[in-house]
Amino acid sequence: MRDEYSDIRIENESQGDFDEVEALTRKAFWNVNVPGCEEHYLAHVLRDHEDFIPELDFVARTADGSIVGNVMYTKTKLVGEDGGEMPILTFGPLSVHPAYQRRGIGKRLLEHSFQKAAALGYSAIVIFGDPGNYVARGFQSCQKFGVSTPDGKYPAAMLVKELCAGALAGEKWVYLDSPAYAYDSAAAAEFDKRFEPMKKEWQPGQEIFYILSHAVVQEG
Ligand SMILES: CC(C)(COP(=O)(O)OP(=O)(O)OC[C@H]1O[C@@H](n2cnc3c(N)ncnc32)[C@H](O)[C@@H]1OP(=O)(O)O)[C@@H](O)C(=O)NCCC(=O)NCCS
């Protein structure tokens, strides 16, 4: 069967794409995790952070030039038991336009970015996300790799993928979040005023997000 989106290209984001990507991010995340969203502001400020990696900032573009997907990566790190640090990656926001979701575009953005990330020499990715979206992309519970938060927890939403098999084997690791993700919510609310108004609403998926983002996996 012909893939109706086979003509979608994955390419690096350019400066002329910034506004369109932020509008897309807002549409993709609106009311998904909480009423409204702030991820479009995150996309707006992330690009200026020193941890942001422009080479791993990709858009999915239709034949007519519209952007229907985006993924952004930042540098972050793991700290081993002996205090040694391993530079790794995290990604987000990851957005696919609501009209194009569940048709493999997110998968293409991720598979493409994994290849490029490995070629840049990165050996692992740690994210916080809904496992339903990521286990098919090779992510597993952080607990399987001995990767915990600084307070020793294994959040259910903290997922790990090795880009280089065995890169994390034989050690316990602490994941340190990049400061790039610590943005100001008041500034996000102000930024949102630049966009056409959309109604903030409760949706059942927000409860799933709450449960997943507060759940932890037991050791063993
Ligand atoms: C999450 C998101 C990026 C996924 O992109 P997408 O293009 O819709 O996803 P894909 O079609 O590539 O599917 C990716 C995987 O999701 C899962 N999936 C796809 N359709 C699904 C469905 N109907 N129900 C449950 N899981 C599904 C599958 O595991 C699939 O991988 P597979 O095809 O190899 O089995 C997109 O839905 C989105 O932008 N959502 C809103 C914003 C968001 O939540 N971003 C991620 C933050 S963690």
**Share of residues in the chain with pLDDT > 70 (%):** 97
Q: Which amino acid is at 48?
A: D
In a domain, 220, yes or no: no
> Going by C-beta distance under 8 Å and a sequence separation of 6 or more, which residues neighbour residue 219?
143, 154
Q: What is the pLDDT of residues 175-203, one digit of tens each?
A: 999 999 999 999 999 999 999 999 999 99
In a domain, 197, yes or no: no
Place of tokens 């070629």: 119
Cα–ligand 1 centroid distance for 136 (angstroms): 10
User: Does ligand 1 lie within 6 Å of residue 168's CB atom?
Assistant: no
In a domain, 84, yes or no: yes
**Burial bucket for residue 186 (CB in 10 Å: 0-12, 13-18, 19+):** exposed
* Domain count across the chain: 1
- Residue whose CB lies within 8 A of the most ligand 1 atoms, among 3, 4, 62, 107, for a mutation test: 107
In a domain, 219, yes or no: no
In a domain, 50, yes or no: yes
In a domain, 183, yes or no: no
What number of CA atoms fall less than 13 Å from residue 33's CA on the CB side?
17
CATH number, domain containing residue 137: 3.40.630.30
Range of the domain at 83: 9-177+205-214
- Residue whose CB lies within 8 A of the most ligand 1 atoms, among 96, 159, 161, 213, for a mutation test: 96
The pTM assigned to this predicted structure is: 0.95
In a domain, 187, yes or no: no
Strands (E), 97-182: 124-128, 140-141, 147-148, 158-162, 173-176
